[in-house]
Chain A
């Protein structure tokens, strides 16, 4: 989906962040343009989920260096809700349960907040119901799902689908999917991947944070980045993911220098 007319959505330079005094991100550089799908791979503890949360503005992390431009704005200055309203979306690795709050109520509030921000019309409960049911078809979700409490008692697959449904509703500029494939069986994985593919278009961008190559069989990335110890140590095309799958992450350490130059 890369084309000449694409614009830069996200530009990360030398980003450093720590939690409780321990540095997790040690200088990340990444540029994401419209129409692109990026995969960030790496072992547990390499900092890839932290990177996702830092971009979304989680308060537990302290930014210690670098800069992030998002659609021409200084992202790091914005509180998390403004980042969301500006079009940055994070699909959570562990979606949070909110007992007593009906999913439809939550989805509508989120939708209307973002719509209001964009100067678009808000939907009343009846209009929203029609709208959300249409989007749910995309993810093969049952209608009763709207009346259940947000994520409460959902299976792993239902939670992840709920995340993608929100992504479909909010139409973000940049979607960051944090380990969305974890805990999904193959059928659910296909449904989720199909949803993501349908949402992706030439004017938005997607970052997939994942441990396994499996997801990339269904969502084909333009770039694959490998993270290690808080840095992106290697960048390549989709074939890099396959390479990783067969050779394992140990292979990276040995070949950092030689492969790193391929695409960057």
Chain B
């Protein structure tokens, strides 16, 4: 009797669920196939889109950190393997370069009433992607340790270096600083932040010619080198995952870390509640007397594949709109810095919002920025370890960029 009851209930639920979801998203039919990176905020969005699955609407997802490496191949096939690509400022570029995503203007007009104008990523006037969250590297500092050393909260890298010296002198911490200096993406991003903080330009205006060998580039590198003097000896292997336990073990007092990971560091129910309670988030610091923070702003959003039927594109857009509806930003507010209407910033979002307000620049979406970024990430390590001069490192990076850009067809 009991099992019969359970079966009936289950059958009822099965029947009821899809029709409810159907009514909810308003999709008639189609296939929604999502490819995205793998972190919590994107899980929330993709699960939201999955609610739209029904007898006539198929929703599948592939959430993997390898998404960047498969997206071009997956969207080149016709029909494309995925209908939705969840992208960021850097990962949307290869899709744009190869013309693999479609303009969304008519879909925005039809289904995008809840979107804020700032969410629309317009390329040459056409909406090519919808942003739903923002991210940036920003300052984290330990209130208690700075007070113990008699320091004011730092607002510039000069403050940070002076503070680090005092923290070390007073014997409070031997290695007061940490930064993502692992060669590759992390090191390149730190340089990009610092170089923009000094007001540097990556390219000669209107051309793909790199222009990083200059005083600002050298100053950026020298500041990074000075910081490494206050870090643990393994600093060339530091990335976000390596720094988190160091922060929790109270080995580090000042850190410029990713906003998307901030909620874990201020989580008073996490592994180090006392450290978390004393962790303060603030705007990314300025450098060299500049007024804008030495940071780049990032957005995460979605784009719709070009090589799919209009029906699937429409279904995909509607499902994603369901995934980023205003209620999501309210219900999951602590998970990300949402760009969605009605979002109320939580304590974990303070750093990113302050950095945004202080006028930090977005990470450049230029077609050849990725090539330069890779060249930078691979060629700064020798300078950081004192094996070559800053000029030589920047020249090596430029040379690597020129070679790769020539092969990619950007330079002749």
Q: Do A and B come from one complex?
A: no
Chain A residues near B (Cβ < 8 Å): none
